[in-house]
Amino acid sequence: MRVSLLSFRAAVSATLLLSLSLTATLTTTVSADAFTTEPVLHLSRTITRAVLSEEQAEGQGARVRRSIGRPELRNHDPFLMLDEFLVGKNGGFPDHPHRGFETVTYMLEGQFRHEDFAGHSGVIGPGDVQWMTAGRGIVHSEMPVFPGGEGGEGGEKALTKAHGLQLWINLPKEHKMCDPQYQELLDSQIPRSEPQSGVTIKVIAGESHGVQSKVYTRTPTLFLDITMEPHKVVEQNLPLSYTGFIYMLSGKTYLGEKEEPFVGEAHHTLTLSSSDGVKEAVRIETKEEGARFVFIAGQPLNEPIVQHGPFVMNTHEEIYETFFDFRNAVNGFERANQWRSSAN
Ligand code: FJE
Ligand code: FE
């Protein structure tokens, strides 16, 4: 019901909008749906740009399509990076440190094994999520595993690449030096909403169509994996204060205002306009082709960012301190002393 109401946007005059002031939800009786429910009119944010991510080398023999974090998409506050990774048998991300932010690894195909300097380790497989708060310090390795080994016993067509997404979310000043924490969710533990048949929304963080994730976010974040069959329309709400973007995995979407949609295609990042105080949703449509994409939005921190690779702090001085702490294995990096993962 809500979806169709976007088309009534045009019916509401500018003066009416102004008189309704800057409220997030405009209640009106203009709609033809007025008999069924008191309609809620959502204005769709628009798309400000579409940027293609081509493959580049990263880590050890790994390939990534970098979305947020590439030169055209720097500092999409609170997001620092989004990589779609593809890693073969001899590749991976061997021992490296993090401080000051969170990494969220979402597997699409294949498996990844992580191992950290505090003895925490595990394997995540298709659909699983590892939400890691590095806080004051983590040193770890992240490497693909290919069951079946050399002989390729893993069935008829053993996977040769592990495929997934890794999102880096900045932490607010007061959480940058917090204790490290892991939140690990199996695919089966991640709730889905189905706002209509043919539209499935996996709620990794935040809330969608009444379904809520259990992930604790220090930086308020909405992270959804949306699959749409052809000829569907969905409206996704997001708080007015959030910045957001869509990263297309496959298929084709038509985004934003119905009259002037932006086309979203695989491996493109589509950045959302600001809410302008009233646009609390995004309209997403498929036509002849279905689509799969992630919808990511969050509360901007509006704090200074000083980043040196995997260390993200607020000042240069804090970055120097971080180098010192890492080199001397102090202040959260104690266990980095002599530690090596089995990947090395
Ligand atoms: C890296 C620092 C890093 N993209 N996608 C420097 F932390 C990394 C790194 C990753 C990474 C890991 C996974 Cl599992 C997926 C990623 C960067 O670990 F590559 C560099 N150069
Ligand atoms: Fe890492």
CATH code (residue 74): 2.60.120.10
- Strand, helix or coil for residue 173: helix
Task: Tell the residue number behind the tokens 């009786």, with chain if given.
Answer: 29
For 42-93, write each residue's pLDDT tens digit. Answer: 789 999 999 999 999 999 999 999 999 999 999 799 999 999 999 999 999 9
Is the distance from CB of 247 to CB of 67 less than 8 angstroms? Answer: yes
Cβ atoms < 10 Å from Cβ of 260: 9
Residue 337 lies in a domain: no
Q: Each residue of 169-224: pLDDT tens digit?
A: 999 999 999 999 999 999 999 999 999 999 999 999 999 999 999 999 999 999 99
Whole-model pTM over 0.85 = yes
- Residue 98 CA to ligand 2 center (angstroms) comes to 7
Distance 138 CA to ligand 2 centre (A): 8
- Does any domain span residue 324? no
Q: Where are the alpha helices (DSSP H) in the chain?
A: 2-5, 14-19, 316-328
Residue 122 resides in a domain:
yes
CB-ligand 1 contact for 280 (6 Å cutoff): no
Task: Kindly report the protein residue whose alpha carbon is nearest to atom 12 of ligand 1.
Answer: 93
> Could you tell me the pLDDT band of residue 156, with boundaries at 50, 70 and 90?
low
Tell me the C-alpha distance between 253 and 233, whole Å: 10
- Compute φ and ψ for 9, nearest 5 degrees: -50, -45
Tokens of 343: 């990947």
Q: Give the pair of three-digit tokens for residue 341.
A: 């993962």
Tell me the pLDDT band of 13, cut-offs 50, 70 and 90: very low
Q: Quick check: CB of 142 below 6 Å from ligand 1?
A: yes
Q: Is 86 in the pocket of ligand 1 (CB under 6 A)?
A: no
pLDDT recorded at residue 219: 98
Decide whether any atom of ligand 1 lies within 6 Å of the 105 Cβ.
yes
- Structural domain count of the chain: 1
- The H or E element spanning position 188 is none
Q: Is the CB of 60 under 6 A from ligand 1?
A: no
DSSP 8-state code for residue 180: P
What is the distance of C-alpha 120 from the center of its chain? 24
- What is the distance between the alpha carbons of residues 293 and 284, in angstroms, rounded to a whole number? 11
Q: Considering the domain boundaries, does residue 127 fall inside one?
A: yes
Please give the pLDDT value at position 37.
46
Which of 84, 86, 93 most suits a substitution to test ligand 1, by most atoms within 8 Å of the C-beta?
A: 93
- Residue 44 alpha carbon to ligand 2 centre in Å: 35
268 is in an annotated binding site: no
Give the ligand at the shortest distance from the Cα of 311.
1
Q: How far is the CA of 96 from the centre of ligand 2 (A)?
A: 6
Decide whether any atom of ligand 1 lies within 6 Å of the 103 Cβ: no
Q: How far is the CA of 95 from the centre of ligand 2 (A)?
A: 8
Q: H or E stretch including 68?
A: none
Please indicate if the annotation marks 98 as binding a ligand: yes
Report the relative pairing of strands 243-255 and 233-237 from DSSP bridges.
Answer: unpaired
Q: Is 140 annotated as a binding residue?
A: yes
For ligand 1, the distance from its centroid to the CA atom of residue 103, given in whole angstroms, is 9
Residue among 100, 99, 115, 62 nearest 84 (CA): 62
Residues of the chain with pLDDT > 70, as a percent, come to 85
Centre of ligand 1 from the C-alpha of residue 93, in Å: 6
Select from 58, 79, 99, 105 the residue to mutate for testing ligand 1; criterion: most ligand atoms less than 8 Å from CB: 58
Domain with 198 in it: 11-298
Q: How far is the CA of 145 from the centre of ligand 2 (A)?
A: 16
Could you tell me if 83 and 163 are in contact, meaning their C-beta atoms sit under 8 angstroms apart?
A: no
Is position 199 within any domain? yes
Contact yes or no for 68/80 (Cβ under 8 A): yes
In sign, the C-alpha dihedral spanning 231, 194, 189, 248 is positive
Q: Is 310 in the pocket of ligand 1 (CB under 6 A)?
A: yes
Atom of ligand 1 nearest to the CA of 81: 4
How confident is the model over 85-119, as pLDDT tens digits? 999 999 999 999 999 999 999 999 999 999 999 99
Q: Ligand 1 atom 4: the closest Cα is on which residue?
A: 83
What's the mean pLDDT in 5-9?
Answer: 38
Whether residue 309 lies inside any domain: the answer is no
